[in-house]
Amino acid sequence: MTLSVGDPAPDFATTDQHGQPLRLADFRGKKVVLYFYPKDDTPGCTAQACSLRDNYTDLKKAGYEVLGVSVDDEKSHQKFIKKYDLPFALAADTDKSVVEAYGVWQEKSMYGRTYMGTVRTTFLIDENGIITDIIEKIDTKNHAQQVLK
C-alpha cells in the first residue's frame, strides 16, 4: 500500500517502550511527527533521534508530538531512550503491523545481499489524522529542520 499526502494516516495499536498500549488515535487533535527508522542505537538512527531530541522544544512549539517506530522490542527502546535521553515515545512494532500499514517494510540491499527492512521515512500528520507531508530523503543529522521547514 502506498500512502500519499492527503490520505488518512492508518491507525494502529501497538505498545510503547514501557509495554503500554499505544494508538495513533490517542494523538487525535495534535499534529504528529511519525518517524520510522531501521534500528535502535545505530549511527544513522541515533543521529536522527538526537536531531529530534535537540530540537524537541521547537517541535513542541510548532504543535508537534513526536513518535518513533521501529521493529525493535520494548527493552531495546528503553535502553535507546535512556542512553540518549530521548523525550518522546518509541513504538515497539515487533509484529511489523505498523511498518506494513505505512508501506515502509520493504526489500533492501546492502553489500549485494537483499533482505526485508524498514525504509527510513517520516510522515507528518495533522490534527485530523491526515498526512500533510511524507519525508523520504532523510537527513539524519538535520531531520528536525526538515520537519520544521
In a domain, 47, yes or no: yes
* Residues spanned by the domain of 64: 13-18+27-148
* 5 domain residue, yes or no: no
**How long, in residues, is the chain?**
149
Look at residue 140 and tell me if it is in a domain: yes
Tell me the pLDDT tens digit for each residue of 65-81. 999 999 999 999 999 99
Nearby residues of 59 by Cβ (< 8 Å), 6 or more positions away: 33, 52, 66, 144, 147, 148
3-state SS assignment for residue 12:
coil
Q: What is the CA radius of gyration of the chain?
A: 14
Average pLDDT, the chain: 96
Is there a domain that residue 4 lies in? no
Q: What is the CATH number of the domain that holds 98?
A: 3.40.30.10
Q: Tell me whether residue 44 is in a domain.
A: yes
SS3 content of the chain, % helix, strand, coil (to 5): 30, 30, 35
Annotated catalytic residue 45 = yes
- Number of domains the chain is built from: 1
108 within domain boundaries: yes
pLDDT in tens, 80-91: 999 999 999 999
Of the listed 45, 66, 86, 144, which one is catalytic? 45
Q: Which residues of the chain have pLDDT under 70?
A: 1
Q: How many secondary structure helices (H) and strands (E) does the chain include?
A: 5, 9
pLDDT value of residue 1: 59
How far the first Cα of the chain sits from its last, in Å, is 27
